[in-house]
Structure 1
């Protein structure tokens, strides 16, 4: 077993970020708490982390988020003992416990991006945990609305790539039961995308500075409340 600070982004993390930079991928919704997208230096605008990140703290007062240069000593949104660099308020980790609700900002952004999506690809997930597992189904709801007046080839699509079967396989347009890294490697070959290796020098969690600001630019949700999302 490796500690969180010893883990490195996989080929898939790096490939997805390369695809974002080339315009193939618009947004990533992650349930992982390992911080590997962050460590691969993804742009904050392109990521929604629903269950937290061991390298991200949040201020209880101004809700600013900060990148740690070491894994959080706590979990369950507990106070870490550090102070906010903006308002001097106490900060807590962002790792959710089972009974805690998803962070509004992260879930709202994930919902907005899912509603805009025309191709949802689920990578390495059993699609068991609600409500995160329902987000990819947004693309199917749009297809049902479009179906009467649109050619099938132009409808929005759902793709699931996972070693095991999921309960949503029957709804997907394509299901691939294989290792995600291998599938991503083949996709990059088809798209003629070169994926650069991980550069630890660009890893923000290895900075000599602690609690670096990690805030998404302001956005205006197109929905009014969590109740309207479910």
Structure 2
């Protein structure tokens, strides 16, 4: 990996506006399971039956019974070294924006300031009856009792995450696209690029001749187009990359 790491470090050090695209692999070292691997969340559940808007509306109690364990994990998880490395690169003036498919808020907790959450987040929930918004933590009592939290109007509170058969938040998606139009390097990290439309986002930058660096445990369909590919755990590689970039910048 030595030569490839040196190449990736040089590219990141030379870039002026880097956009990072992350996925479930970025949070796995924080103890949050991914969804699509052989031992991921969807290995035991049909996502359409438990995590679609249709399923939520049909039976909110069933939705929260499925979500409870995952919710507890995400609300108590801590940023891992990969999150801290991105914040370090942002402080060095390298990271323009982080686009993430994750809903756990760990990028912000780790120090990243400009984060576009394509699939929403767990910080708050919205009443499906009157649109009242409340912190998700205020609903944990009901969730732990096995009851879907409800508003005074009678509507069920839904976490502000994008479920199956829901559109992405268009404002956030537009900002993510805009960031990619303006960047000179895309850093894809902790995602195998299998979920649309996020998997197609790097092409916005590549069409404008931006460079591409990939850090992931598994192969992605863009590996052959990348300027550098680092295969491994982001919690191991990203801190090393950040340190190398600091060394290159410092001369």
TM-score (norm 2): 0.58
Compare the two structures and name the one with the higher helix fraction. Answer: 2
1:223 matched to which residue of 2? none
> Aligned to 1:102, which of 162, 168, 180?
168
Measure the CA separation in 2 of the matches of 1:5 and 1:92. 16
Q: Would you say the 8 A contact 2:216–2:231 is kept in 1?
A: yes
1:214 matched to which residue of 2? none
Alpha-carbon distance, 1:61 to partner: 10
1:136 matched to which residue of 2? 202
Measure the CA separation in 2 of the matches of 1:41 and 1:67. 21
2:87 matched to which residue of 1? 17
1:160 matched to which residue of 2? 214
Measure the CA separation in 2 of the matches of 1:173 and 1:23. 21
Question: CA, structure 1 residues 24+66, in 2 after alignment: closer, same or farther (shift >3 Å)?
Answer: farther
Question: CA, structure 1 residues 162+7, in 2 after alignment: closer, same or farther (shift >3 Å)?
Answer: same
2:108 matched to which residue of 1? 38
Question: CA, structure 1 residues 22+62, in 2 after alignment: closer, same or farther (shift >3 Å)?
Answer: farther
Q: How many residues align?
A: 170
> Aligned to 2:117, which of 46, 49, 58?
49
Query: Where does structure 1 lack aligned partners over 5 or more consecutive residues?
Result: 84-89, 144-155, 194-230
Alpha-carbon distance, 1:188 to partner: 2.0
Question: CA, structure 1 residues 174+4, in 2 after alignment: closer, same or farther (shift >3 Å)?
Answer: same
Counterpart secondary structure, 1:94: strand
Question: What is the alpha-carbon root mean square deviation over aligned residues?
Answer: 3.1
Question: CA, structure 1 residues 5+71, in 2 after alignment: closer, same or farther (shift >3 Å)?
Answer: farther
Q: Would you say the 8 A contact 1:4–1:71 is kept in 2?
A: no
Counterpart secondary structure, 2:161: coil
Alpha-carbon distance, 1:115 to partner: 0.8
Residues 186-205 of structure 1, C-alpha deviation per residue, up to 9 Å, x if partnerless?
Answer: 11221338xxxxxxxxxxxx
Counterpart secondary structure, 1:56: strand
